[in-house]
Chains A and B, each alone.
Chain A
Amino acid sequence: LHAALVVRTFRLRPFHFLLATGGGYAGYRQYEKYKEEQLEKMGIEIPIKLASEWEVSLYKSVPTRLLSRAWGRLNQVELPTWLRKPVYSLYIWTFGVNMKEAAVEDLHHYRNLSEFFRRKLKPQSRPVCCYHSVISPSDGKILNFGQVKNCEVEQVKGVTYSLESFLGPCTSTEDMQFSQTSSCSSLQNQLVTKEGNELYHCVIYLAPGDYHCFHSPTDWRVSHRRHFPGSLMSVNPGVARWIKELFCHNERVVLSGDWKHGFFSLTAVGATNVGSIRIYFDRDLRTNSPCYSKGSYNDFSFITNNNKEGIPMRKGEHLGEFNLG
């Protein structure tokens, strides 16, 4: 009996330790968040606290891709009809989903959470602005926008990432809008094809409750796709403020081509819960797949002998979607 008690106590200790340290850390993060909110209310600018290298390495060591795939598999399990309404209602309540905009409002219609997540909208719920040349490709929150300077792009104010790391090295193929180059500064110059033009960027964060399909932001032609398998860290604004080059670490699909003013690209960046990306006209694309290793990339050209212009996209046209896991 004594031995059994000792073993039991010993077994419980790691759990207690994890609970205490995890709880302590969560409490500390909440306190930090509270302090930041108070400073923001007082109009004081919050100093940027970037994650150190070991913190990024530690986060990257978490098997986020495996977790994401497990999450995806779990959400593909068909729910019994009686369970659908309570499960989806909890999701709606937690993430503030507006079901009145959904093409199908009846919750029993969606066989699993993945299908619910991919729900379509009523056509009249999102009128496409016809007066402006660039529209929002998705629902979300604007994290940052502006001009690209010195080959650095801002993911949030003051936290940058390298344009070259994000888009990958230049290719010399004819289908890309830019040619072989050796330095980063010239990459920006090479992307700008017309004199007097500048390079601009815009970052839109999609929260879990948002409509997760994305559309063409303008009239353009997609000539190239580059898929970067990578980590699947969270991309919420707090993490984007904490980890420099976050979007360069994560799995992403870069679609590039041209519009009436020159180079144009749209990149879909994955996250832990939303690990896979689908592009409707690209049937060969497989994201969040174990067969790809981090750090590599896969190119695909839409320019063929039969189609020298690539894939023409109209403003507002369906382009792709994010999927759970």
Chain B
Amino acid sequence: STIVLIFEAPKNFNFHLKPGQKIRFGEALGSL
């Protein structure tokens, strides 16, 4: 199963992620 998020955000939105990294619910995905 997979979750896909698609959203609008200002241009300075940054993801705090690396492809392939493990993540847990509640951890940061990104912010402005």
User: Which A residues are within 8 Å of any B CB, using their own CB?
Assistant: 126-129, 131-146, 148, 153, 157, 163, 166-167, 191-194, 196-206, 211-215, 217, 235, 240, 247, 259, 261-271, 274, 316, 322
Are B23 and A140 in contact, CB atoms less than 8 angstroms apart? Answer: yes
Q: How far is the CA of A133 from the CA of B11 in the complex (A)?
A: 14
Q: Is the CB of B5 within 8 A of A217?
A: yes
Minimal beta-carbon separation of A161 from chain B (angstroms): 10
Point out the residue from A127, A128, A146, A271 that lies within 8 Å of B2, measured CB to CB.
Answer: A271
Contact mask for chain B residues 1-32; partner A; CB cutoff 8 A; 1 contact, 0 none:
11111111111010111111111111111111
| Contact A269–B29 (Cβ < 8 Å) | no
Contact of A141 among B16, B23, B26, B32 (CB under 8 A): B23
**B11 contacts A235, CB within 8 Å?**
no
Residues B3 and A128 in contact, CB atoms below 8 Å apart? no
CB distance A142 to B8 under 8 Å? no
Given known contacts A166-B6, A265-B6, A322-B1, what 20 new A-B pairs fall within 8 Å (CB)? A126-B26, A131-B28, A137-B5, A142-B22, A143-B2, A153-B6, A167-B6, A192-B8, A198-B9, A201-B6, A203-B2, A204-B2, A214-B3, A240-B2, A259-B7, A262-B7, A263-B8, A265-B7, A268-B1, A269-B3
